[in-house]
Structure 1
Amino acid sequence: MASYSIQKREKADGTNRHRCLIRVKKNGKVLYTEQRTFTKHQAAEAWGKQRVVDIETNGYDNKEAAPITVGEIINKALADESIKASIGRSKLFCLKLLADCDIASVNLLELKSHHIVEHCKLRKSSGTGPSTIVIDVSVLRWLLRIAKSNFGHEVSQIAIIDAYDTLYAQGLIAKSNKRSRRPTAIEIEKLKVGLAERAQQRAAHIPYVDLLDFSILSCMRIGEVCRIRWDDVDETQKAVIVRDRKDPRKKAGNHMLVPLLGGAWELLQKQPRDDERVWPFNERSVTAGFQRVRNALGIEDLRYHDLRREGASRLFEKGYSIDEVAQVTGHRNINTLWQVYTELFPKRLHDKDEQN
């Protein structure tokens, strides 16, 4: 049976648009959708009534009604260069994983909350943790938005939204635990010895120790360090332009001028200038070398990214304010830095109270 509904939407300039959605359902299943947007409600209603009569009288184009699965939408998204260029490595990995899961065979228009819950149960049974499974759910919700905005499929995110309470209540998904791991002084010294030995063994002669020290002092991610070009170095201000710095609201073009403090500037200046990049190495090779040395030393639960937290912590310990540290770390939301600060100095309020 064909039916129509009209939704009113206000654009950024204050003008209204009226979207008329046509649907054909049978036994609760959506067989066909069609939509058109109008500036006037009356025009949208007139078109909707006429289309319903046309469909009831003459039928609809079966090509438009062809079902499409979650997996097919994933493939379309990955084949679209503009979409693929806008997503990070983690989301790309998750999309490829979802394409191999049972949920990939579900008809997009028939996706319900129980499909989401079942997917999360299967992932849990395979040993995947709740903080990882929640990424699946987030990517599935993003996929529904892409299916609608990029490919014109009239789908809703309601299946995801309805599933959230159940997923959290049953412990199938959870927010990731906040990390507070810092390497000890002894661990850093052991790492430097191990990394120096590894640097001598590798044909590429990656300066692991310099990279370790610079990562801590600059508070940069290793990917940001390996992207620094000599053209990005500001000799006057002793700073560098960090290109495409990570920002949840902006995937590319987020360049920042970052001051190099506490010896970071001297470390950069001592590097050979025989390449356009200061450290012309693959970030994965650097982290892989770090991990092998760490494992050989028996150092547990330490990630390369923890060096960034170590660097921020040192700046706080030197007396820099939160907004000053944010200029180095690039945090847009200083709440994250505030959490680091309060962990470092839990007694600061008691100390102030004793002084008064």
Structure 2
Amino acid sequence: MAYFNIERRTLNNGESRYKATVFVKKNGRIVHRESKTFKKKAQANTFGKNRVADIETNGLNSAKTCTIGELIDLYMNDKDLYDKDGRTKQYCIRLLRDCDISKINTDSLKVSDLITHCRNRRNAGAKPATLSHDISYLKAVMKKAHPVFNIDANVEIFEDAFIILKDMELIGKSEKRTRRPTTNELDKLREALAQRQQHHANTIPLTDILDFSILSCMRISEVCGLKWQDLNIEHKTVLVRDRKDPRKKQGNHMLVPLLGGAFDIVMKQPKNKELIFPHNPRSVSAAFQRVRNKLGIEDLRYHDLRREGASRLFEKGYSIEEVAQVTGHRNLNTLWTVYTQLYPHKLHEKNSE
């Protein structure tokens, strides 16, 4: 037996949304559940009625089609799929939901539709690397359509689409980023962050985290996830759990040496909580961005501190294998080409040692 209900919720801006959830019961227990959210109650009601009628007529397991937007809704409501995606992929999928391409049926998608999508996004200011993410993440969602939701989807077109979109230069790799903060910029950042952390409402050791991020070459999410139980005081190492790896989403633990003053910064922190830096990484990044903007420092991202740290290690004479042990890179070519930007004048300092 199939049936549906509608729930109303209010967004932070006061607007209402209506979530239609369709259920299928068998032998007294729910065997299937799917939902979709609408701006108007009438739309939610229509969806619920039509979906129930479709299930009653064609059965739950009959292959069906829907719009790409509806498929994205199903994907985002599946905790085993969407919740395991990274922030960048989640953001991109939400953005695709609001694009015109979401109105096309999953079994009717053509290469020309992808071309139109890329052109529209390019005209709005998106770069080829961003559009490459669009197409890759849309393909990832479409590939789940049939095996997970029993929805027919024209996934085969993506093989040709990538070739054509590259030839048209609508998609491409991101430009190599070479930005490193200058000594003057870092001094200004430390001074401004020190003033900010003196505010009574601030509990984040911003200057310590800034310096630790450079010395450890860790992402801010990794810094704020370090645990005291994973610190080896004798060896001055720490276990970084679930380190980012494109081939392995979880369980990628790595023992990392705390070089330079990184270990001393750790030992300065209060030991009254499980985490060494028990703070929200987004709050740290936001504080950095506000201070950076106030100082008028242009084109500097928090992630650039990771490049700064790796570049410093190379300038000190560490081998690429040794630097990779700190940064966590499995692909040494990526480490060298993406995370390294050496200052030529530093070679004189090394030569004089």
TM-score category (smaller protein): 0.7 to 0.9
Deviation at 1:104, TM superposition (A): 1.0
Structure 2 residue aligned with 1:183: 181
Structure 2 residue aligned with 1:285: 283
Distance 1:91 1:155, change over 3 A: same
Aligned match of 1:211 in 200, 206, 209?
209
SS in 1 for 2:285: helix
Deviation at 1:343, TM superposition (A): 4.7
Distance 1:108 1:126, change over 3 A: same
Deviation at 1:225, TM superposition (A): 0.3
Aligned match of 1:329 in 323, 327, 350?
327
Q: Structure 1 residues 207-216 or 170-179, which shifts more? A: 170-179
Aligned match of 2:109 in 93, 96, 111?
111
Structure 2 residue aligned with 1:261: 259
Q: Structure 1 residues 113-122 or 213-222, which shifts more? A: 113-122
1:140 aligned onto 2:138 = yes
Map of 1:16-55 to 2, 5 A cutoff? none
Aligned match of 1:242 in 217, 240, 243?
240
Q: TM-score, normalization: structure 1?
A: 0.76
Structure 2 residue aligned with 1:89: 87
Deviation at 1:255, TM superposition (A): 1.1
Which residues of structure 2 form unaligned runs of 5+?
A: 1-56, 347-353
Structure 1 residue aligned with 2:17: none
Structure 2 residue aligned with 1:51: none
Q: Structure 1 residues 170-179 or 209-218, which shifts more? A: 170-179
Deviation at 1:236, TM superposition (A): 2.2
Structure 2 residue aligned with 1:174: 172
Question: Structure 2 CA distance, aligned partners of 1:87 and 1:312?
Answer: 27
Structure 2 residue aligned with 1:195: 193
Structure 2 residue aligned with 1:230: 228
Q: Is this contact kept in 1: 2:106–2:154, CA < 8 A?
A: no
SS in 2 for 1:201: coil
Question: Structure 1 CA distance, aligned partners of 2:155 and 2:287?
Answer: 42
Question: Structure 2 CA distance, aligned partners of 1:334 and 1:159?
Answer: 33
Which amino acid counterpart does residue 308 of structure 1 have in structure 2?
R
Let me know the Cα RMSD of the aligned residues: 2.2
Q: Which protein is bigger by CA-based radius of gyration? A: 1
Deviation at 1:156, TM superposition (A): 4.4
Query: 1:243-287: per-residue Cα shift (whole Å, max 9, x none)?
Result: 111000111221111110001000000101121111111111101
Question: Structure 1 CA distance, aligned partners of 2:127 and 2:330?
Answer: 29
Distance 1:309 1:161, change over 3 A: same
Question: Structure 1 CA distance, aligned partners of 2:249 and 2:129?
Answer: 23
Query: 1:182-227: per-residue Cα shift (whole Å, max 9, x none)?
Result: 1111111111001101111251331110000000000000000001
Deviation at 1:293, TM superposition (A): 0.8
Which residues of structure 1 form unaligned runs of 5+?
A: 1-60, 349-356
Question: Structure 1 CA distance, aligned partners of 2:180 and 2:97?
Answer: 37
Q: Structure 1 residues 142-151 or 76-85, which shifts more? A: 142-151
Which amino acid counterpart does residue 219 of structure 1 have in structure 2?
C
Structure 2 residue aligned with 1:100: 98
Question: Structure 1 CA distance, aligned partners of 2:228 and 2:182?
Answer: 32
Aligned match of 1:251 in 249, 252, 258?
249
Question: Structure 2 CA distance, aligned partners of 1:249 and 1:340?
Answer: 18
SS in 2 for 1:110: coil
Q: TM-score, normalization: structure 2?
A: 0.77
The aligned length equals: 289
Q: Is this contact kept in 2: 1:241–1:258, CA < 8 A?
A: yes
Query: 1:125-161: per-residue Cα shift (whole Å, max 9, x none)?
Result: 2222222121111101111221133233453433222
Structure 2 residue aligned with 1:317: 315
Query: 1:83-138: per-residue Cα shift (whole Å, max 9, x none)?
Result: 12321111111111111111111111111101111111121222222221211111
Which amino acid counterpart does residue 138 of structure 1 have in structure 2?
S
Which amino acid counterpart does residue 312 of structure 1 have in structure 2?
A
